[in-house]
Structure 1
Amino acid sequence: MSNASTVEQQIDERIGEVRTDSFDMSFGEIVNLHQNHELIIQPEYQRLFRWSDNQKSSLIESILLELPVPQIFVIENQDGVFELIDGLQRISSVIQFLSPVSLELEPLILSGCSLIPALNSSSLEALPLSLKLRIKRSTIRMVVIRKQSQGFLRYEMFKRLNTGGSNLEPQEIRNCSARMIGENGVKFYSFLVELAKSEHFSKCASFLPDPVLEQKGDEELVLRYLATKNAKDDFKGSVKDWLDAYMEKILLSNDKFQYEDERTEFLQVFQCAYEKLGEAAFVRYRENKPVGSLAPAYFEAIAIAIRENLDHIRPKNPDIVRDKITDVIQSEEFRRVTGPGANSKEKLKSRIELVANSLGSL
């Protein structure tokens, strides 16, 4: 079979695995669907609603001027309910303007409308009835990914729709797209959230900057720990691609992820890290004093080194363990494998080995 025929066959097979419909739906209908719980905006997505009031207002202005509004994507769940996967900002803006109580938000007061300045300072109630009806009756194209579609393609569609967007960070995309897989994806996402909220890990992760925490940086650290422990040989220089690939392997592979074993060991490792090193367990040190925020390269090296020496260091005095780690991470040798160009498999393994050998010598 020729290469061209093989490509055509593979494309034809994939096309048959996803079923979609598309149609125009009025914003009034969308609000009603949401109020009746027939259109779901998951809490994980709703926290990503970051548009400013000016951006929301510009959308309302565009609808009133009958300007084109990009289509939205929903997936159809097994019970027939739609779940919004792309278009959160647009749909949430309209719902907030037409029915703010549905999202438990304050009413939207229009601001920054540049084409029709007279709209500024207006609420829905302040508009004439004709304009209220114009918004409610205006339509948007909705693409529905039917429930018969393969979970993998639903996952891929969400990831591709959102990758590269300025509103979503990599871990937010991973978390939301995991839901597209179905039960296995929800289970693993919930597992990351659970471990990120665990007592000792969360105390250490508090040294992440607030904006990073808001973008699920703590959950990404949990994933980074698991990937470093289980798949460091797959690291090829891009942390994002590495974490994407590791998470997809868990979500899409038939290999069973050992939830109970992973949970038990994770809790033990970070209990030990906190008891020996405190909240500043994974920050840089200068002149034997902690400085700055949590450093991911330090995190993976220290956390995995503690795991490899867990039974050995448990009975040790915290001051001795802290001094040992402080010495090694301030060394020139460690800095060479954590500074510029540190994202290589060799340097990843080297920094873990440096800390692990240091702890092993206690």
Structure 2
Amino acid sequence: MDQEQEEKWYSDGDDDSIGYSFKEYDITSTPNDFNTKTIIDFIESGLFKIPGFQRNYVWDVKRASKLIESIIIGLPIPQVFLYEEGKNSYLVVDGQQRLLTLFFFHKMRFPRKDKRFELRQIFEESGKFPDEVLYDDKYFEDFKLKLNEPGVENKLENLNYATLGEFKNGFDLRTVRNIMIKQNFPSDDDSAMFEIFNRLNSGGITLKPQEIRTSLYHSQFYNYLYKINLYPNWRRLLNKAEPDTHMKDVEIVLRGFAMLMDSENYRPSMTQFLNKFSKKSRNYDANALEYFQNLFQAFCDYIVEVDPNLFVARTGKFSITIFESIFVALCFDALKNKTLEIKKTSLAKVVELQENDTFNRASQDNTAGKANVETRLRIAKETLG
């Protein structure tokens, strides 16, 4: 058993799979060579979007310095892949570490390692690094190239963008290959974007579906999911103080809302269902988002009163199937009537649900199957109502 399996804190049957199905695409890929100065302008203007930091910026200053050195001395660097969301809007699907390194070097600032999670939240909320953050030494330090090796001095050592001297024009004008991708068919979904991101990022650090999803379907709805995920009583129900590295806790919240609001349209796989719901969620206005947040928090507050360990399975892990079933059963009427009146139940009824043989069978094997999802939600409503 690998380390990731040993540290798994939740139980979800087989729902962690990507849900691959064979599908043919019509895609246009256009190569463009932009110089670094143009790329930085595109990032600052929002033409190139680096959504929610995807993963935290993970490079250290020595690795970042090596990239800058490669550009200055004319060595090729890996190409960047961008997905065309719309006119003058491109989503970075591979290359965000390289692009951010260019941006940080140009600004002569480098993010402090212990502040990167917080910086990620700031970036998600504002879509950029505000100057008051970028030039705050609490979050960033000066970016000077670190290239010396033992016994070997590098002439670029300790230089920053402003002190590059004779190398500055070379850095500004050096080009980086950018591949602009546009999905022509199917025209009714962004499934190619998810597949491209998953495959391009499959080397090195393995990304989970929600890490990909949070990059591809960024929206105000997702910003609210991040806020909800930090709600103290939700963290208490998860029995997990800190957010999950791979955003599984965010995915659980997303899944709860998807089942509550769109379960009648559920079709396997769970991954594809959550992708489609994430895309739909971009249309919710501020009032709806505020209501969703208040509803979820009211639900958490109520469950904590009933039993803070309500969603803990016999294995000691957080049960996603129990959570989503109870969430839908207790919040369905509130959502329908646009109130915050969570349906009241009892611990005895929850125990009855947990001991229901049909519910358990639908929660153990093929948990993402349509029939099993429908069975769980139906029995939960009947038992807890």
Whole-angstrom distance in 2 between the partners of 1:70 and 1:143: 11
Which of these residues, 52, 57, 61, is aligned with residue 50 of structure 1?
57
The residue number in structure 2 matching 1:234 is: 266
Q: Does 1:244 align with 2:275?
A: yes
Q: Return closer, same or farther for 1:204/1:130 CA change in 2, 3 Å cut-off.
A: same
Whole-angstrom distance in 1 between the partners of 2:147 and 2:355: 51
Which of these residues, 131, 150, 159, is aligned with residue 124 of structure 1?
159
The residue number in structure 1 matching 2:312 is: 284
Give the drift of 1:272. Answer: 3.7
Cα contact 1:201–1:270 (8 A) shared by 2? yes
The residue number in structure 1 matching 2:3 is: none
Which of these residues, 296, 310, 333, is aligned with residue 320 of structure 2?
296
The residue correspondences of 1:137-148 to structure 2 (distance < 5 A) are 137-143=173-179
The residue number in structure 1 matching 2:107 is: 99
The residue number in structure 1 matching 2:35 is: 26
The residue number in structure 2 matching 1:351 is: 376
Whole-angstrom distance in 1 between the partners of 2:235 and 2:159: 42
Whole-angstrom distance in 2 between the partners of 1:335 and 1:112: 58
- SS in structure 2 opposite 1:124? coil
- SS in structure 1 opposite 2:346? helix
> RMSD of the alignment, in Å?
5.0
The residue number in structure 2 matching 1:184 is: none
Q: Which runs of 5+ in 2 are unaligned?
A: 1-23, 110-127, 135-139
Give the drift of 1:202. Answer: 6.5
Q: Return closer, same or farther for 1:150/1:224 CA change in 2, 3 Å cut-off.
A: same
Q: Does 1:305 align with 2:329?
A: yes
Cα contact 2:35–2:175 (8 A) shared by 1? yes
Amino acid at match of 1:45: G
Amino acid at match of 2:36: F
Give the drift of 1:21. Answer: 5.8
Amino acid at match of 1:26: N
The C-alpha deviation readout for 1:231-259, integer Å capped at 9, x for no partner, is 356333x32122124445x379xxx8799
Whole-angstrom distance in 1 between the partners of 2:67 and 2:252: 36
Normalising by structure 2, report the TM-score.
0.61
Give the drift of 1:40. Answer: 5.0
- SS in structure 1 opposite 2:57? coil
Q: Which segment is superposed worse, 40-49 or 133-142?
A: 40-49
Q: Which segment is superposed worse, 60-69 or 103-112?
A: 103-112
Question: For this pair of structures, how many residues does the alignment match?
Answer: 320
Q: Which runs of 5+ in 1 are unaligned?
A: 1-9, 180-188
Cα contact 2:57–2:97 (8 A) shared by 1? yes
Whole-angstrom distance in 2 between the partners of 1:228 and 1:272: 15
The residue number in structure 2 matching 1:159 is: 194
The residue number in structure 1 matching 2:78 is: 70
Whole-angstrom distance in 1 between the partners of 2:151 and 2:71: 12
Which of these residues, 325, 347, 364, is aligned with residue 339 of structure 1?
364
Whole-angstrom distance in 2 between the partners of 1:112 and 1:167: 29
Give the drift of 1:91. Answer: 1.0
Whole-angstrom distance in 1 between the partners of 2:167 and 2:329: 63
Amino acid at match of 2:198: T
- SS in structure 1 opposite 2:178? strand
The residue number in structure 1 matching 2:18 is: none
Amino acid at match of 1:140: V
Amino acid at match of 1:139: T
Normalising by structure 1, report the TM-score.
0.64
Amino acid at match of 2:263: A
Give the drift of 1:90. Answer: 0.9
The C-alpha deviation readout for 1:106-152, integer Å capped at 9, x for no partner, is 34466699999755994434987455554444321234579xx9996
- SS in structure 2 opposite 1:197? helix
Which of these residues, 217, 223, 229, is aligned with residue 178 of structure 1?
217
Amino acid at match of 1:234: Y
Give the drift of 1:284. Answer: 0.9
Q: Return closer, same or farther for 1:298/1:131 CA change in 2, 3 Å cut-off.
A: farther
Whole-angstrom distance in 1 between the partners of 2:187 and 2:198: 16
- SS in structure 2 opposite 1:67? coil
Q: Return closer, same or farther for 1:196/1:48 CA change in 2, 3 Å cut-off.
A: closer
Whole-angstrom distance in 2 between the partners of 1:178 and 1:47: 11
Q: Which segment is superposed worse, 77-86 or 157-166?
A: 77-86
Give the drift of 1:68. Answer: 2.4
| Structure with max Cα Rg | 1
